[in-house]
Amino acid sequence: MSESIVTLKKGEGRTIKAGGAWIYDNEIASIMGHFTNGDIVEVHDFDGYKMGHGFINQNSKIRVRMLTRNPETVIDDEFLRMRVRNAWEYRKTVMQGGNPDSVKADMKGMAAALSADINCCRVIFGEADWLPGLVVDKYSDVLVVECLALGMDKLKEKVVNILKELMAADGITIRGVYERSDAPVRKKEGMEPYKGFIGEEFDTNVEITENGVKYMVDVVNGQKTGFFLDQKYNRLAMQRIITGLRNNDSLKVLDCFTHMGTFALNCGLAGAADVTGLDISEFAVAQATANAERNGLGGRVKFRAANVLDELPKLYEAGEKYDVLILDPPAFTKSREATKNAIKGYREINMKGLKLVKDGGYFATCSCSHFMTQDLFTEVIGQAAKAVHKRLRQIEFRTQAPDHPILWAADESYYLKFLIFQVVDEK
Instruction: Please report, for the domain that includes residue 18, its CATH number.
Output: 2.30.130.10
CATH number, domain containing residue 120: 3.30.750.80
Nearest to 254 by CA among 161, 184, 155, 358: 358
Whole-angstrom distance, CA of residue 149 vs CA of residue 162: 19
Whole-angstrom distance, CA of residue 303 vs CA of residue 368: 23
pLDDT, tens digit, 9 for 90 and up, residues 323-381: 999 999 987 766 666 678 889 999 999 999 999 999 999 999 999 988 889 999 999 99
The answer to pTM > 0.85 is: yes
Cα–Cα distance list, 84 to 124, 164, 273 (Å) = 8, 10, 44
Predicted confidence at residue 188, as pLDDT, reads 93
- Does the annotation mark 147 as catalytic? no
Same-domain status, 25 and 155: no
Find all residues with CB under 8 Å of 117, minimum gap 6, and list them: 95, 96, 97, 98
Determine, yes or no, domain membership for 390.
Answer: yes
State which H helix or E strand residue 169 sits in. helix 156-169
- The DSSP-derived string for 219-282 is TTTSSTTSS-GGGHHHHHHHHHHHHHTTT-TT-EEEEES-TTTHHHHHHHHTT-SEEEEEES-H
Find all residues with CB under 8 Å of 99, minimum gap 6, and list them: 113, 211, 212, 236, 239
Predicted confidence at residue 116, as pLDDT, reads 45
Indicate which residue of 121, 147, 267, 368 is catalytic.
Answer: 368
Predicted confidence at residue 37, as pLDDT, reads 96
Determine, yes or no, domain membership for 295.
Answer: yes
Same-domain status, 233 and 378: yes
Same-domain status, 94 and 145: yes
Predicted confidence at residue 223, as pLDDT, reads 84
Determine, yes or no, domain membership for 105.
Answer: yes
Nearest to 72 by CA among 86, 52, 46: 52
Walk along the chain (427 residues) in steps of 10 and give the mean pLDDT of each run: 88 90 96 96 96 96 96 95 98 75 37 62 97 97 97 97 97 97 94 96 96 95 91 96 86 96 97 96 95 95 97 97 96 72 92 97 94 93 96 97 93 94 86
Which of 24, 42, 68 is the last residue in one of the domains?
A: 68
Q: Which residues pair with 399 in a beta bridge?
A: 417
Enclosing domain of residue 51: 5-68
Same-domain status, 299 and 328: yes
Same-domain status, 53 and 144: no
State which H helix or E strand residue 287 sits in. helix 282-294
Same-domain status, 286 and 406: yes
Determine, yes or no, domain membership for 313.
Answer: yes
Predicted confidence at residue 425, as pLDDT, reads 84
Predicted confidence at residue 114, as pLDDT, reads 44
Whole-angstrom distance, CA of residue 305 vs CA of residue 44: 54
Find all residues with CB under 8 Å of 151, minimum gap 6, and list them: 38, 39, 40, 54, 55, 56, 57, 65, 132, 133
Question: What's the length of the chain?
Answer: 427
State which H helix or E strand residue 157 sits in. helix 156-169
Which of 196, 218, 240 is the last residue in one of the domains?
A: 218
Per the CB < 8 A criterion, the answer to whether 196 and 206 are in contact is no
Determine, yes or no, domain membership for 399.
Answer: yes
Same-domain status, 272 and 391: yes
Predicted confidence at residue 334, as pLDDT, reads 64
Predicted confidence at residue 427, as pLDDT, reads 65
Same-domain status, 342 and 416: yes
Determine, yes or no, domain membership for 298.
Answer: yes
Whole-angstrom distance, CA of residue 415 vs CA of residue 176: 29
Per the CB < 8 A criterion, the answer to whether 301 and 261 are in contact is yes
Helix 374-387 and helix 339-354, axial crossing angle in degrees, nearest 10: 40
Predicted confidence at residue 49, as pLDDT, reads 96
Which of 42, 68, 94 is the last residue in one of the domains?
A: 68
Same-domain status, 83 and 213: yes
Structural domain count of the chain:
3
CB-neighbour burial class of residue 110 (10 A; exposed 0-12, middle 13-18, buried 19+)? middle
Determine, yes or no, domain membership for 224.
Answer: no
End-to-end CA distance of the chain: 68
Same-domain status, 284 and 412: yes
Determine, yes or no, domain membership for 328.
Answer: yes
Same-domain status, 197 and 58: no
Same-domain status, 124 and 145: yes
CB-neighbour burial class of residue 321 (10 A; exposed 0-12, middle 13-18, buried 19+)? middle
Whole-angstrom distance, CA of residue 2 vs CA of residue 334: 33
